[in-house]
Amino acid sequence: MNDILLDVRGLSKHFGGILALNEVSFSLEKGSVTSLIGPNGAGKTTFINVVTGIHAPDSGEIHFQGEDLAGMEAHLVASKGIGRTFQLVELFSSLNVLENAMVGRHSESHSGMLSCGFSLPSARKEEKRIRDEAMESLIMVGLEKRAPDPISKLPLGERKLVGVARALTMKPRFLMLDEPAGGLAAHEIKNLVELIHQLVSKGLTILVVEHNMPFIMSLSEKVIVLNEGAKIAEGPPQEVRTNEKVIKAYLGEEV
Ligand code: ATP
C-alpha cells in the first residue's frame, strides 16, 4: 500500500546557532497514527510549527496531497486541511466552551464573532453554521454538555479536549497533537486513545508528539524519533524501543 498523505523531504530549520530541524524526511500514510518522539529540545514542536506555517523552513519540502506547502502562510496551510493542538492549551478564558471550539473558523470567516449579532442575515447564517460545526466537534470529544460552561470551570483534561474540538471544527484531514496526554489522569488517557481511534476511523491521519511512552506504544503504528533536530529512528514501536541510537539519546530516561 502506498497511499501517502504527507511526505516531508529534507526539512531544516535553525534559530540562531541552533539547528532545530536537520534534514528531516519521512512520510505518513493516510489513516495512520504516528508518534513523533525525542528528548527535550529534539525539534518536535518546531516540526509542527514548520509544517503548519508558523515558521518557514530554511530548506526542504512538505508535500501534502500532492502540493508543496513549504513556506506557505499558516491560515492557508489550515485551509488545506492541516490542524494542530498546542502543548500549552491556548483557550480564551472570557469565552465559553462552545465559543472556544468556534475560534478557528472565525479567524477565516468574513464576519467577526462579536459583529455577527448586529450584521446581515448572511453573516448570522454563517455564524450558525460555524456554531453547529463546533457543536459537532464537541460531541466528537464528548464535551457537548459542557458547551455553555465558562472555560475556567473545566479541569485540564477537558481543556485539552476543547483544544482538540477547536482543531476539529476546522475539518482537518491531518491532525497533529502536541503532548495531548501531558498532565492527564490514567482514565483520561484511556479516553484519549479511544478518541484518536475514532478520529482515524472517520478518515483522519494523526501525528502525536508525546513523552508518555505507554500511551505512544499503545497508540502508534509507527514511531519516529528526533534527536538534536535529526531523525535517528523510524519504525514500529517495539522495534524503535530497542534501537540502540534511541536508547542512547534517552540515556538516563526510561524508554
Ligand atoms: P520539548 O519536548 O521540550 O517540547 P521539542 O522537541 O518540542 O522539545 P523544540 O521546542 O522544537 O523541541 O525546540 C528545538 C530547539 O529549537 C530547542 O533548542 C529550542 O530552544 C529551539 N527553539 C524552538 N523554537 C524556537 C524559537 N522560536 N526561537 C529560538 N529557538 C527556538
Predicted pLDDT of residue 124:
81
Asked whether residue 108 carries a pLDDT value surpassing 70, the answer given is no
From atom 1 of ligand 1, which residue's Cα is the shortest distance away?
40
- What number does the ligand 1 atom closest to the CA of 55 have? 27
Determine the average pLDDT of the residues in 175-196.
92
What distance in Å separates the CA atoms of residue 30 and residue 46, rounded to the nearest whole number? 22
Predicted pLDDT of residue 11:
98
Q: What is the mean pLDDT of the chain?
A: 90
Predicted pLDDT of residue 60:
98
Determine the average pLDDT of the residues in 205-233.
94
Asked whether residue 104 carries a pLDDT value surpassing 80, the answer given is no
In the chain, what are the domain boundaries? Answer: 1-81+172-255, 91-171
- As a whole number of Å, the CA-based R_g of the chain is 19
For domain 1-81+172-255, the CATH superfamily is P-loop containing nucleotide triphosphate hydrolases (3.40.50.300)
The finding on whether 45 has its CB within 6 A of some atom of ligand 1 is yes
Burial classification of residue 54, based on how many CB atoms lie within 10 Å of its CB (0-12 exposed, 13-18 middle, 19 or more buried): middle
Predicted pLDDT of residue 62:
98
Tens of pLDDT along 201-214? 999 999 999 988 88
The finding on whether 20 has its CB within 6 A of some atom of ligand 1 is yes
Q: Output the pTM of the full model.
A: 0.90
How far, in Å, from the CA of 37 to the mean position of ligand 1?
Answer: 13
Tens of pLDDT along 55-75? 999 999 999 998 999 999 999
Q: Are the beta carbons of 255 and 241 closer than 8 angstroms?
A: yes
Determine the average pLDDT of the residues in 1-6.
82
Confidence band for 1, pLDDT divided at 50, 70 and 90: very low
How far, in Å, from the CA of 154 to the mean position of ligand 1?
Answer: 29
Determine the average pLDDT of the residues in 146-160.
93
Asked whether residue 89 carries a pLDDT value surpassing 80, the answer given is no
Confidence band for 252, pLDDT divided at 50, 70 and 90: low
Q: What is the DSSP string of the chain?
A: ---EEEEEEEEEEEETTEEEEEEEEEEEETT-EEEEE-STTSSHHHHHHHHTTSS--SEEEEEETTEE-TT--HHHHHHTTEEE--SS----TTSBHHHHHHHHHHHHSSS-TTTGGGS-HHHHHHHHHHHHHHHHHHHHTT-GGGTTSBGGGS-HHHHHHHHHHHHHHT--SEEEEESTTTT--HHHHHHHHHHHHHHHHTT-EEEEE-S-HHHHHHH-SEEEEEETTEEEEEE-HHHHHT-HHHHHHTTTS--
